[in-house]
Structure 1
Amino acid sequence: MPLGTFDRSPPPFFRQGLPALSKLLLCTALAIFLMAADHRFALTQPLRNAMATALLPVVRVLSLPMQAWDGVGEYFGGVHQAYAKADALQQKLVVQSEQSASAGRLAHENAELRALLGLRPGLQVRSLAAEVLYEAPDPYSHKLFIDRGSRHGVVDGSPVINEAGVLGQVTRTYLMSAEVTLLIDKDAAIPVLNTRTQHRSAAFGGGEENQMELRFVSATDDVQVGDLLTTSGVDGIYPAGLPVAKVTRMDRRGDAGFARIGLQPMAPLGGVHHVLVLEPLEQQQPAHEETPAPPARVAIASAPHPAASRPAAAASRPAASASSKPKGERR
């Protein structure tokens, strides 16, 4: 401060801006506005895609030590298991060879019957192989990430399966990766069909000990422990006939007349490395073909001449006038 002048401003130690409570309220309102705008208009979706694409190499590099450790353990400890699996697969191959012969014959008969009835051929489900990158670290959700995204044709809602059955469904796609929500997640639901009774219902995630639940089933319904549940195919997402879960627990003393039914998913939850992403059925439905209306028939030559129709009209007049007279005037 130059000499001979008076500075009336307070020293820097006493300078303050907005009060702390005002800053808190302002930041809270801004955060709520940004969350609502993102939920409504998906403003941060491009930012998420860019961050996911940029962090994908970093995630792969960080996962290399764990992959190397797992590879060494599988190499030294999996020889005996490989021989056992080879024997089991050999026996299974013999059984499947017989089933394949009968399946080819049934497919040929099915094609002939569809051609005879004029039905369209069955839908061929398109699929895409993918590799599991890592599982989500969130302990309150059950999700994993795969190395296929929107660039490879993966869309939201695509079913994800492996050799054992249905794993889950794609819930969010990025450019080079996608997020898969497993069936045991609390927000997951899938329509199922009981293969024994052919009864349709819905299975939900969020059960105890990484299991599923069959909800809204009456306590008097025919459900037994050991029943196999498959996809029903009525939702337009999952193809029909995919294994989903098996009934492991049955409690008919539920509240409000509903039974408490526990399910064990057919697909394993841990140790999954490769999956198959299916295209939703609703995207494979053929476009509806409208039947063209038949052309209007113009029968000019067969139309009666106006003069020819006069006698018929004149002949009908006395009958109409006679029928309109009251009963008292008839003779």
Structure 2
Amino acid sequence: MLTKFVFLQLNLQKKVTHVIVIGGVDYRLQGEIEEKTVSKPKQHCVTKTSAVKKLKFFLRNLMDLNLDNSTLNFHWSDKEVYWASFSHKSKQETSEHLFYKGFLNGRGARQGNRCLVRVKKDDCGEKTYWRRHFRIIDLMHQITDLFNKSVLNEDYLKVITPHLAQIDNVSSFNKICTWNGVKEFGREEFVVVEEYLDEMLDELIYDNDYSNLSALLEALSHFSFIAMREELLFCNFHGEIRNSKECYVTCSTVHSKKQEFQDWGDKGIAGITNFFTQHKCNKWCRKIWSSTDNKTIEELEKMNKYHC
């Protein structure tokens, strides 16, 4: 892809503004001009600031420009090894995370597929930071599996499993454009890579009678609250139906009574209350109660021993 670069210099009130236009987006570098009197009268010299030096560095390394960020290799499965490449500009953000669209590169059937890269927003996402994230994912797997067994009676809903990867190469734009809403990656930065879901398919009728995906996923949220003894609620599920027998889901929000999951958009009791204020129980919710047998109760007891 051919990228167009336009460089302008504007002199306004003793400030130098360098404008770099890349793909229709402009990145501005501003630097103060310091005036120093030299031996000859009425002559001045200009001391360039760090912003100008960054522009010089950018121009010197124009041929070696890295447009994308990339990770080191990580194992997707026993037979699949990938590394992810993604843009310098995030597509979506929450209070805790930035989300980037990227691609999988490497060895395996998913090579060339789109992926979603989750990044810690403000600070460096070290490996230890993501531990609780993966513990929540593990709990989500347990709840979904139990919902499949006790309510659906088949292994229909599958939770998308994320993968931890370390940053390798950093985009040149991330290095020089951090004030323009661009993430500045640390040396030991880790990110989470997962499959990219297309737009949620709300209404799709087919043989197994899951005619309304949104209603089914709301019932899963309701079930999660019951499974966690009304201490924790998984909500804002998104799903993608890939064939008549499987639906892959991911969850973006977790609310808890103690409000201890800020990186999941946790609004505490207010978030739980808001969900049930808008929620209308459907046939899948009603089936939760009719299918709760002794075996299910035993599994719920085991699950509640899990400590986040």
- TM-score scaled by length of structure 2: 0.22
- Bigger fraction of residues in strand: 2
Q: Decide which structure has the larger Cα Rg and report it.
A: 1
- Bigger fraction of residues in helix: 1
- TM-score scaled by length of structure 1: 0.21
